[in-house]
Structure formats: structure tokens, C-alpha cells
């Protein structure tokens, strides 16, 4: 029954509408329906021609608006919850979102896209949604289209090569605890911390302890109104959720890490 149905997680990049791949644009244009995540309790599920939800809430929606007509867009409410584990709120949001997708399939939609910021395989809700949909409709095919990550955009905009020669590259969520961040910063490669907003003061304290504060680059709201990219201001701790911290590898001279 659902064997000819495909649910595709489409990476739409960090914010700049030019940072979508040609394939992502095609998929979004061809899909019967395009779902976009929004924060639960804050916006109506239907999309009208009016404004998108502000800030992180409507990021994917604002990015795909120029490629997808409002009639084919559907909002899926999710919970922005940075506590660990599968909280009841989170699980309920995944289940509710999956039911909305399944209702669309039962109503005849065959090609469904889920637009997600950055890349769908990098800290995206898409994986949880896909699992929840397949639990209800095991025949649904799941696919992804890669997107430009916030990490890559921050590297590009700040002119920071992410890795050279034998250097490792560590991408971690600040929610995983300070020890992981401290170990990575003490290591030989570049470290990128996502989800640092509420934990920003702790991250800065660790950078100060290791004498790396001056090296770090902070990207806030990349590709969004209010975007700011630059060195870390030690006194400013009130960050938007969409903030990324990059600590470049120590490099002495050209090709030194080969």
C-alpha cells in the first residue's frame, strides 16, 4: 500500500537560500507535500501567504518558501528541548508529527519531503521522524538529500579551513557535556560546538582555561537577519539557539600538519 511512497529528508543549508543544492530544489519542487519543522505551541500548523515564524522556529520554512508554493507546505510541530534523553514531550512530538505524515499518505500523497536546516544526517529531527513514520507504515521508502551544514558555512564565512593534513575534525553538541569539549580542544584538530547557546559561558570558561579563547570564532544566526560572525566576546552570553562555535586547529606554518 505504501511501497510507492517516499519520504525524503532534504537538507536546505543553514539559512542562505542560495545554499541549497540543485537536487534539493528539484526534490522540493516535485514533492506532493513539503513538511517543515516548527516549534510546538507557537505557530498554527497551516501555512498561509503571510510571515514565517521568527528565528529558529521558521528557518527551514523561510528557506524553502522561494521554491515551494504555500499550498504544498505543511508545518510539523516539534519540541525544542535540550535536556538529554527521550523526554515525554519529545516522544509525543515525534509521534504526532508521524501521524500527520501518515494521514497525508493515506490521503494519496506519494512523494513527501521534509525540509531540515543544514544536513538531514547531522543532528536533524528527520531521523526520528523517519523512524516514527516507518513504525506506522513500514513500506515507506526513506531517502535523504545532503545539505550544507552550519559548520561548513561558518568555516567559509570566517575563512577557516576545517582540517588539513593529518588533523582530525570534531563536531560535537555542547549538550554532550563539557568533558568531551575540553578533550577535543586539547587535541590536535578543529573543534566545532553546536547547541551551545545555554552552555556558552561554560564553553568560554574552558577555552579561557586552555588559553584558546582568542582563537575561537562564533557564528550567530548564519544566513538569518541579525547574523553575526567574529571573535568571541567574553562578556556576551545571551546567544540565539542558532549559534555555532568554531575552535580552529593550531597551525604553525603552511602544510605543517601534512
118 binds ligand SAM (CB under 6 A): yes
Beta bridge partners of 229: 219
15 binds ligand SAM (CB under 6 A): yes
Query: How far apart are alpha carbons 106 and 100 in whole angstroms?
Result: 10
CA distances from 16 to 12, 60, 79, 147 (A): 9, 10, 24, 12
119 binds ligand SAM (CB under 6 A): yes
In this chain, which stretch among 45-53, 101-109, 202-210, 242-250 interacts with ligand SAM, using CB under 6 A? Answer: 242-250
Query: Could you say which of 2, 8, 149, 170 contacts ligand SAM (CB under 6 A)?
Result: 149
Query: Could you say which of 36, 218, 242, 246 contacts ligand SAM (CB under 6 A)?
Result: 242
Cβ pair 120, 146 in contact under 8 A:
yes
Query: Could you say which of 64, 122, 145, 249 contacts ligand SAM (CB under 6 A)?
Result: 122
Residues near 40 by beta carbon (within 8 Å), at least 6 away in sequence = 77, 78, 79, 89, 93
Task: Give the strand order in the sheet containing 190-194.
Answer: 169-173, 190-194, 243-247, 217-220, 228-231
144 binds ligand SAM (CB under 6 A): no
37 binds ligand SAM (CB under 6 A): no
For 72, the grid coordinates are 504544498
Q: Give least dist CB 219 to ligand SAM, A.
A: 5
In this chain, which stretch among 65-73, 101-109, 176-184, 221-229 interacts with ligand SAM, using CB under 6 A? Answer: 221-229
Burial 130-139 (b: 16+ CB within 10 A, else e): bebbbeebee
Site for ligand SAM in 177-196 (CB under 6 A): 194-195
Binding site for ligand SAM (CB under 6 A): 14-15, 117-119, 122-124, 149-150, 194-195, 219, 221-224, 241-244
Amino acid at each position: 500500500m505504501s511501497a510507492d511512497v517516499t519520504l525524503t529528508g532534504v537538507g536546505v543549508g543553514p539559512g542562505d537560500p542560495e545554499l541549497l543544492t540543485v537536487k534539493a530544489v528539484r526534490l522540493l519542487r516535485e514533492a506532493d507535500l513539503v513538511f517543515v519543522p516548527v516549534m510546538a505551541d507557537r505557530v498554527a500548523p497551516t501555512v498561509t501567504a503571510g510571515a514565517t515564524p521568527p528565528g529558529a522556529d521558521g528557518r527551514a520554512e523561510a528557506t524553502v518558501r522561494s521554491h515551494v508554493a504555500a499550498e504544498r507546505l505543511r508545518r510539523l510541530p516539534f519540541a525544542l528541548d535540550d535536556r538529554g534523553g527521550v523526554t515525554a514531550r519529545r516522544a509525543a512530538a515525534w509521534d504526532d508529527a508521524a501521524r500527520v505524515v501518515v494521514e497525508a499518505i493515506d490521503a494519496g500523497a506519494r512523494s513527501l519531503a521534509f525540509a531540515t536546516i543544514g544536513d538531514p544526517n547531522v543532528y536533524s529531527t528527520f531521523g526520528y521522524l523517519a523512524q516514527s513514520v516507518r513504525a506506522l507504515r513500514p513500506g515507506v521508502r526513506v531517502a535523504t538529500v545532503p545539505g550544507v551544514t552550519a559548520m561548513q558555512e561558518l568555516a567559509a564565512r570566517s575563512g577557516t579551513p576545517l582540517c588539513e593534513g593529518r588533523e582530525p575534525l570534531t563536531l560535537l553538541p555542547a549538550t554532550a557535556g563539557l568533558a568531551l569539549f575540553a578533550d577535543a580542544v586539547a587535541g590536535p584538530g578543529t573543534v566545532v560546538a553546536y547547541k551551545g547557546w545555554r552552555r556558552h559561558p561554560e564553553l568560554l570558561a574552558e577555552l579561557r582555561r586552555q588559553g584558546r579563547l582568542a582563537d575561537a570564532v562564533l557564528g550567530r544566526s548564519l544566513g538569518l537577519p541579525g547574523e553575526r560572525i567574529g571573535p568571541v566576546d567574553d562578556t556576551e552570553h545571551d546567544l540565539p539557539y542558532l549559534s555555532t562555535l568554531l575552535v580552529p586547529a593550531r597551525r604553525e606554518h603552511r602544510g605543517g600538519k601534512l
